[in-house]
Amino acid sequence: EVLTGREIKNAKDMESAAAEIYAKFGCAVLLKGGHSVNRGSDVLADERGQRWFRGVVVENPNTHGTGCTLSSAIASELAKGRDLDKAVELAKEYLSGALSAMLDLGKGSGPLDHTFDIKSRFAQEE
């Protein structure tokens, strides 16, 4: 909303905002559905157009760091040689797994469990 100067209330708004941001900055844009709009599903806009990545909603109050975790997981998958679509898909799966582990540390919104499956395919190179 800050980058486009308008409210994003539904899937169509997400698509038009992602397209606008892509056109303005010329780089791939993953627009997150977030907590209130299209929960768990994100739209990716780049030179190939737009694609939706459906996700699951994990009811977990400990969500501190989910955005940083998602972007780091995407970057890690790209560094392993995966294409952008596969990197986003795997990063979303990783994030869902880390949230589903239901780690509960500290008070308030704690972190997700980054080590939920440390020896899994997420740690393997392609």
Q: Which residues are catalytic?
A: 32, 63, 65-68
Contacts 24+ apart (CB under 8 A), 27-31: 28/84, 30/74, 30/88
CB-CB contact of 115 with 103 (8 Å): no
Rounded Cα distance, 40 and 56, in Å:
5
